[in-house]
Amino acid sequence: MTFANGLYSLRVPLVSPETILPLATQLGSITKIRCSINTGTNDPVEAGTFANPMKEIQREAGMVVFENDNGKDWQNQDFIASYKVWSDGIFPNLIFQDPEPEESDKRGTFCLTISPPDPNKITVFKRAVIFLMDRSGSMYGEPMDDALQSLFFGLESLKPEDSFNIIAFDHEIALFSPQMNLATSASIGQAREWAMEKCKARGGTDILSPLQQAFQLLENFPEAVPYVFLITDGAVADERNICLAMQSRIIALGARAPRISTFGIGHYCNYYFLKMLAVIGRGISDVAFTSDKIRGQMERMLVAAATPVLTNIGLQRLPDGCEIYPFPIPDLFCGNSLTISGKFQGSFPDSITVFGLMPDHSTWTVEVPSRKTFKVPLSKVFAKQQLDLLTGQAWLFGDRSREQQAVNLSLATGIPCQYTRVIGFETTKAKYQEFQNERRKGKKVDVKKFTAGKVAGIVLVGGLVIGFGSVAATVANAAVGDLIADSFGNILGDFGGDVGCCGCDDLGFLGDCFGCCGDLGCDSCGDICETCGSLLEGACELFFGCLCGILTG
């Protein structure tokens, strides 16, 4: 779901080609939709506007159910549903679930949501904002144009009491001003002119230097919350060092440390580097894979972070040994509700304490009662959030145990991660049920035993994970649009049949070792593919894994 203007919204593609409709048939008469909105609270649900007419058929505490009205007014368009979140104040809600008996992970799951207030009804923090703009050669053309328009949008969204600066970077850096500037109409106009002149695609990519420069400019703003917005389309060789250097600097600065939000453009940027940099910096992270998405997504992120209302958020009275995602906890913005999920052992407490810093520098504290819920499968709802953070931590620290945790979670939930792959295979109802029974036992499954016949296809499904970016493509200044996802899918579509490489036939439902083997770092092929070399090297990196592994299984 997306959060905008105080509403959670969900869009489901639902446009039907006109050629599939029988003659003289109204689309509404053959369309059946049921939509349940479950907020996880006990408060009445205030639904937003639907794209097509829907009628309410059921309502209870925290939930409402709608069905479509099969009338002539049904339009051939996407299905859109929403519900209101904004209220007069900060509203936290806490639910939890004990583990299911069949789950291999015997820990429970909890979810804390903190809904922001209507910005028109509260005071928000002043901000000191620095935009870091990648102007390397690979940003040439539409990506740079869209990024510039989004930068101008961000400048216009500043309040007069906010301060700002711009740093353009490639292998060198250029500053709009040697000091921070108040967001007056005159200074914003000058900044636009400067950006049009200086932000022209050229050169290489150095991310550490502009980050360090931004931190120096932002360290002396006690009356404002400091923010850095990093916009880049590249991957660089020293990404781990950048994360660790920023982490050390942030720890040293404590509560005064600037927040770092990141926006990646295209397939060549390392999503997990940008994700971890934002997690370390208690910011927001997003990525646009195609140039036509850049402006809309970047502007949405800038709006989300425009009105901070609660900072330095912490939790007390959680069970010992809890895992929290994300951690450190980001700030709460009026344009971006905050969701914190986690795993716990033993019993969950009746309540926890949530605290943070308000714009008037007072401490906001509230005791939040916990409620056990059976309506929402929490362990699966937040699996993607946890997989991203486990993968990012495994990448940053070279932690094989976290890689294995990501693999286990991926296998348990059926959601692919960086270390697993999805396989499609042809089977029968009876064999599929047998296959499911085997999976629930937590053991590895030989897919070939459950195919419909000896000639049934087994296909590796591509394009479901993001990848660690491409330093080689960045150094070569490859443009954002050079790597087309469809070509990746077409390669996979030409191959089927048997599975296995390096003499390893043991492939689970999700193959762990980049399509090679069922074990992470297994004895058959280890960490290096014997056919093409390292798992992420040269041309293979452009395909998000081991090229020969993709082609053979």
Among the listed residues 310, 277, 510, the one whose alpha carbon sits nearest the alpha carbon of residue 412: 510
| 211 has pLDDT over 90 | yes
Give the C-alpha separation, 422 to 464, whole Å: 8
User: Residue type at 6?
Assistant: G
If you average pLDDT over residues 102-118, what whole number do you get? Answer: 85
d(CA 304, CA 307): 7
pLDDT score of 543 more than 60: no
In the predicted structure, residue 356 carries a pLDDT above the cut 80: yes
- Decide which of 543 and 44 is more confident: 44
pLDDT beyond 70 at 334: yes
Q: Residue 492 pLDDT more than 80?
A: no
3-class state of residue 445 by DSSP: coil
Q: Per the structure block, which two tokens stand in for 150?
A: 């989004």
pLDDT at 513: 32
pTM as predicted: 0.73
User: What was the pLDDT predicted at 202?
Assistant: 77
Q: How confident is the model at residue 101 (pLDDT cuts 50, 70, 90)?
A: confident
Average pLDDT over residues 269-277: 86
Helices (H) and strands (E) in the chain, counts: 14, 26
Q: In what order do the strands lie in the sheet with 421-425?
A: 458-461, 421-425, 510-511
Q: Is the pLDDT of residue 496 over 60?
A: no
* Greater model confidence, 69 or 484: 69
Per-residue pLDDT, 469: 59
Rounded distance between C-alpha atoms, residue 359 and residue 352, angstroms: 23
**pLDDT given at position 328:** 87
pLDDT tens sequence across 358-372: 888 899 999 999 999
The two three-digit tokens of residue 107, written as one number: 């820990």
Can you give the pLDDT at residue 166?
A: 94
Across 97-106, 315-324, 526-535, which has the greatest mean pLDDT?
315-324
Phi, psi of 528 (to 5 degrees): -115, 130
What are 296's two structure tokens? 């809309």
Q: Please, which residues have CB within 8 angstroms of residue 335's CB and are 6 or more apart in sequence?
A: 3, 4, 116, 119, 303, 304, 305, 306, 307
pLDDT band at 485 (very low <50, low <70, confident <90, very high): very low
pLDDT at res. 145: 86
Task: Judge whether 95 and 68 are in contact, CB under 8 Å.
Answer: no
What is the mean pLDDT of the segment spanning 301-315? 87
